[in-house]
Amino acid sequence: MNIVLCVLILVSVFVWGKVNLNPLQNFIKYPMLIIFPLIGLVGLLNLFRIKKFKKDGIGFLSSSLFLFGAFASTASALFPVLLPSTNAVNPSLTIFNASAETYGLTIGIYWWIIAFVLVIIYFVTQYKIFKGKMDDVPYGHH
């Protein structure tokens, strides 16, 4: 399954290079952004070694690191142009011309904070419920 994930990552990087003519410009301009792909890579490499860890928390942390690194890398690479224009008639969709008004963003951040707390509670609860349940099952076999 991890091989399929790596192939899909390579395909998405290839397509990203075709859509964006200078895909690494933000990483070159702001070298500190390289931390996000590194976080994703660490998570991905740990997913290949998951059978050796024998702990369910390491797998959860590794997949979380991979997802965070992948999403943060994508956002860092795209900023500020989210969708480049392919013609001269319509402008590119940027983070600035696609954003809502201040009131909507303010309400949205309040609801995001509430949702984030609920998601954290959900994941902690799920982790506590299933903690140790898979210790006797050989990893990679269902």
pLDDT in tens, 102-113: 999 999 999 999
- Phi, psi torsion values for 93, nearest 5 degrees: -85, 110
Helical ranges in the chain per DSSP H: 2-19, 25-29, 35-48, 50-53, 56-78, 102-130
Q: Answer yes or no: pTM beyond 0.85.
A: no
Residues 82-103 as b/e (b if ≥16 CB within 10 A, e otherwise) read: eeeeeeeeeeeebeeeeeeeee
Distance of CA 78 to the CA centre of its chain: 13
Work out the percent of the chain whose per-residue pLDDT is above 90: 42
Domain boundaries, the chain: 2-98, 100-142
pLDDT tens per residue across span 58-91: 888 888 999 999 999 988 988 888 887 888 888 8
Assign 138 a pLDDT band (cuts: 50, 70, 90): low
Of 1 and 19, which is predicted with more confidence? 19
Mean per-residue pLDDT over the chain, rounded: 86
